[in-house]
Amino acid sequence: MSETLIRLENVSKTYGSGAEPAVRNLTLEVQKGEVLVLVGPSGCGKSTTLRLINRLIEPTSGRIYLDGEDVTDGDPSELRRKIGYVIQQVGLFPHRTIAENIATVPKLLGWDKAKIEARIDEMLELVSMDPETYRDRYPKELSGGQAQRIGVARALAADPDVLLMDEPFGAIDPITRDRLQNEFLRLQQELKKTIVFVTHDIDEAIKMGNRIAILREGSEIAQLDTPEAILAHPADEFVESFLGSGAILKGLTLKKVRDIELHQVPTLSSPVMREQALETLRASDDQVALFLDANDKPTRWIDERALNRTSQPIEKSGRPVTVDLQPEDTLQDALTVMLQSSVGMAVVTDRKGKYLGCCTIESLAKLIMSDG
């Protein structure tokens, strides 16, 4: 695979003498450009492990390497300026404007003023916040979600290779969290930072991680693998119980609609000959047909009853297609749409809304079985 950027080697951390170590003899490698999620029950030492990397907590023993260089000794402040750091409580400086907050590390690194100013705007745009509007505001004027966007912008301001994130979306309401997670994944596709991400939420871990380290007490690695592999083959009972019931359902978030074999239902389009349509419908195994408009966009589910009702035009009868899926949506989305749909199927279209096929429960089940 790719090269190792962060390496913890036999690292231990013990508080006080004789106490149980918070981190026991941990060896961990983070690959360049990956998102490694540390997940585990509270008190397992995942946050401690994260804070060992930028030496906010000094290890009792062991070595820490960053990009091949031993950084266990030496000036911790200088090390931290090279590593982005995002925490759950965000920790924006309340007495500094948004712009000044973002400029923190560039200023510490002695960038010149013009470069910093340009960088501030660039960062604000990166996290989808209008520079004009927000530059001169103070943190107390921001919502929780906005504050964490600035938290991320501030961490990325000096363009560090490594980003440490300690439950960054943990204190944010579920809807905003989902949006921030998606934005962050999109950002990461562009930036390709090396990220160590701590969470206690296994769903978040599955969504965000290229690899997941499931930790038990003492920061011992119970399993370290891709989300797919962990869901398919949990290493032991601890991992299994931590994944919780519904590992199959969780696995659906990792697969896309395009992975599934689409089912083709009969289609109708204007102008519809009723007799002919009835024949088509009767000849097929499906109880319904899809009515497509002039652009091949599916608009209504038409069944036999709707075809027989001559009182209104076909394109106005039957049930409307309210939600459609696209190939890049997850199978979990597909399942939701199917369950809500009156016909037990979900329509899949391409980006322009053109009909591609349908997702059915059978095809979903077949995919899960083949994985099993």
Partner 1 sequence: MSQIAPSLKNRTPLSERLDLIVSPIFAIALAIIGGVVWLYSDLDDTTISILAPEKLQRQLVETITLGLASSLLVIAIAVPLGILVTRKGFPRLKNFLVDTLGLAQALPAYGLIVIFFSFMGAGITTVILALATFSLLPVLRNTIVGLEQVDKSVIDAGRGMGYTTRQILMKIELPLSVEVIIAGIRTAIVINVGMSALAFLVGGGGLGETINSGLKLDRAPAILIGAVLVAILALLFDFMSALAQKYLKPKGL
**For the sheet containing 345-349, what is the strand order?**
324-325, 345-349, 355-360
Report the nearest approach of partner 1 to the CB of residue 51 (Å): 8
Closer CB to partner 1, 104 or 181, in the complex: 104
Closer CB to partner 1, 26 or 90, in the complex: 90
Angle subtended at Cα 76 by Cα 5 and Cα 17, rounded to the nearest 5 degrees: 100
By CB atoms closer than 10 A (0-12, 13-18, 19+), residue 273 is: exposed
Report the nearest approach of partner 1 to the CB of residue 148 (Å): 12
**How many CB atoms are closer than 10 A to CB 70?**
12
Closer CB to partner 1, 81 or 216, in the complex: 81
CA count, 13 A, side-chain hemisphere, 200: 9
Closer CB to partner 1, 143 or 276, in the complex: 143
Closer CB to partner 1, 61 or 133, in the complex: 133
What tokens were used for 157? 């301001």
Report the nearest approach of partner 1 to the CB of residue 64 (Å): 15
Report the nearest approach of partner 1 to the CB of residue 99 (Å): 12
Report the nearest approach of partner 1 to the CB of residue 92 (Å): 7
Closer CB to partner 1, 72 or 146, in the complex: 146
**How many CB atoms are closer than 10 A to CB 217?**
16
Report the nearest approach of partner 1 to the CB of residue 106 (Å): 10
Report the nearest approach of partner 1 to the CB of residue 332 (Å): 24
CA count, 13 A, side-chain hemisphere, 221: 19
Longest dimension (CA), the chain: 87
Closer CB to partner 1, 9 or 183, in the complex: 183
Closer CB to partner 1, 94 or 372, in the complex: 94
By CB atoms closer than 10 A (0-12, 13-18, 19+), residue 183 is: middle
In order, the DSSP letters of 310-338 are TTS-GGGSSEE---EE-TTSBHHHHHHHH
Contacting residues toward partner 1, per CB under 8 A:
54, 56, 77-81, 85, 87-97, 104-105, 108, 128-130, 133-134, 137-143, 146, 149, 151, 154-155, 164
* Kind plus residue range of the DSSP H or E element containing 211: strand 211-216
Report the nearest approach of partner 1 to the CB of residue 222 (Å): 27
One-letter identity of residue 157: A
